[in-house]
Amino acid sequence: MSKDTSKYVKTDGAIASLLTYAGGIIALLLTSIVYLAAEVTIKILTITAPLFIICLSFGFLRQMFNSWLQLIFSSCFIFLFCGLAIKAGMTFLNGILTISIANADELNLISTGAQAGVAGAFMAWIIWQAKTYASQLAG
């Protein structure tokens, strides 16, 4: 807000910071939901592991074991894809904020904040889609 050149009420800087925070909060909220679901899935599948390993003994239950293993791989891939999306998104947001701080006199603060907010929302969408990508890749 120190870069806002308004005389009385610094609305441009406040709106820009709110948009930036909103994008980050949306991305991290969806990330925590996806991570929590994947972690609970892995814990439940780990608890039921002996049952599905016994399924290997019988030929007609082999498909149940394959589905169980596919879910484990899918949950592990979710962690990997979400980590990649968070890293790429945070690097992009860091670049936006660095440019915003360096060139705040020439740039419009609201458009820079909107760009950071849209980048956060896009990162949240990619993280939400990571579930689909992981399940398709796992099998």
pLDDT of 1 strictly over 60 = no
Q: What is the pLDDT of residue 36?
A: 94
Q: Which two tokens stand for residue 10?
A: 């610094």
| DSSP helix/strand/coil, 122 | helix
Q: What is the pLDDT of residue 3?
A: 60
pLDDT digits 0-9 by tens, 81-129: 888 888 988 888 888 778 777 776 666 777 888 888 888 898 889 888 8
With a CB cutoff of 8 Å and minimum separation 6, the contacts of 49 are 68
Q: Which residue has the higher pLDDT, 136 or 5?
A: 136
pLDDT digits 0-9 by tens, 12-69: 678 888 988 898 899 889 989 999 999 999 999 999 999 988 888 888 888 999 999 9
Q: What is the pLDDT of residue 94?
A: 86
Q: What is the pLDDT of residue 6?
A: 64
Name the nearest CA neighbour of 41 among 81, 13, 73. Answer: 73
Q: Which amino acid is at 27?
A: A
Give dist(CA 49, CA 68) in Å, integer: 8
- Got the DSSP string for 77-91? HHHHHHHHHHHHHHH
Long-range CB contacts for residues 134-139, cutoff 8 Å, separation at least 24 = 134/74, 134/75, 134/77, 134/78, 134/80, 134/81, 135/74, 137/74, 137/77, 138/70, 138/71, 138/73, 138/74, 138/77, 139/66, 139/70, 139/73, 139/74
Q: What is the pLDDT of residue 61?
A: 86
Q: Which two tokens stand for residue 95?
A: 């670049």
